A and B are shown apart, each in its own frame.
Chain A
Amino acid sequence: MNFTHVYETYANSVYAFLKLRLRDPFLIEDIFQETFLAVYRQMAELDDIRHPKAWILTIAHRKMVDHLRKTSREISDDPLAGAAERSEDPDYSDLFAGEMLGLLDPVSRMIVYGIYIEGLTCKEMTDVLGIPEGTVKSRCYHARAKLKERLGREWRV
């Protein structure tokens, strides 16, 4: 598998994943490029990776957390701390027309996105976000309940 093929396959996933947490388009572009630059430099490893999508999203998440730690904004050292209370969340109207994921806190958004859209398992999301599997499952449960409450009015879920 060459780099261009990897990029074509995973570019949209990385972009959407970053956009779930960041609102500055230049920052998204920087971290997106840093992520794929890291992938390029580790291409020799890729054949041995069992789940390339989870691996690449893990790199993207770490790059994002590293950057935000350095700049001390939008996210704390603990990706779960205060996530639900944060007020600097982006406007998702351009991202999800129905504002579905905008109902959720940032970490739950990434979990729901990873599990339902990217097809990752709870265990893989554990690796991507670096949080316990029980936390992923619990967040997913509560996020789904919230979405179900909202969707219940429009869909028979």
Chain B
Amino acid sequence: MCEEDQREWIRAYLQGRIKDAEEKLRFFDRLLADPRFRQLLAEEKALMDRLYAEKIVLMPRDKEKWLRQIQEKAGRVPAEEEPTPLQWLFRVMDLAMPGQSVSDYRKALRRLML
């Protein structure tokens, strides 16, 4: 596992995205056995704490006002009840190529259309 992947694994742990108990155990085993991994954990934690402390949020009054405006605009143009042909295509491709992202489908489609 390269360093960037190790850092991603660490961020997943710090951000609570690791749910699987086995994976958590593997994470702790690695932490106990590898001093460099512990150093990476310390770096990621420090940077994350600093960035979280300075996170910006939308002012509550703007948040409410903007929601009302979106709902008014949305009321004039109803939500699509039926999927578009492209959405259907993505669903079919999801069945054919599970695990791929929408952008992968788009790339595949682009290649097919060339």
The interface stretch among B19-27, B28-36, B61-69 is: B61-69
Q: In the complex, are the beta carbons of A98 and B58 less than 8 A apart?
A: no
Within 8 A of B (CB), among A84-128: 95-98, 100-101, 112-113, 115-117, 119, 121-123, 126-127
1/0 per residue B73-104: CB within 8 Å of A? 11001011111000100010010000001110
Q: In the complex, are the beta carbons of A119 and B79 less than 8 A apart?
A: no
Closest CB-CB distance, B64 to chain A, in whole Å? 10
Residues in chain B near residue A115, CB distance under 8 A: 11
Closest CB-CB distance, A52 to chain B, in whole Å? 12
Q: In the complex, are the beta carbons of B4 and A140 less than 8 A apart?
A: yes
- For chain B, give the interface size range: 35 or more
- For chain A, give the interface size range: 35 or more
Q: In the complex, are the beta carbons of A119 and B56 less than 8 A apart?
A: no
Given A41-B79, A127-B103: A33 and B70 within 8 A (CB)?
yes
Interface: A156 (CB within 8 A) = yes
Interface: A148 (CB within 8 A) = yes
Q: In the complex, are the beta carbons of A151 and B47 less than 8 A apart?
A: yes
Interface: B110 (CB within 8 A) = no
Q: In the complex, are the beta carbons of B87 and A45 less than 8 A apart?
A: yes
Q: In the complex, are the beta carbons of B56 and A33 less than 8 A apart?
A: no
Interface: A63 (CB within 8 A) = no
A12 to B4, CA, bound (A): 27
Q: Name the residue of chain B whose CB is nearest to the CB of A54.
A: B101
- Enumerate 25 A-B pairs (CB-CB under 8 Å) in ascending A order: A11-B66, A11-B67, A19-B56, A33-B66, A37-B70, A37-B73, A37-B77, A42-B80, A44-B79, A44-B81, A44-B82, A48-B94, A55-B102, A95-B56, A97-B54, A98-B50, A112-B51, A115-B11, A116-B48, A116-B51, A116-B52, A119-B15, A123-B101, A137-B4, A151-B46
Pairs of residues from A and B, 5 with the lowest C-beta to C-beta distance, nearest first: A119-B15, A15-B58, A96-B54, A157-B46, A40-B74
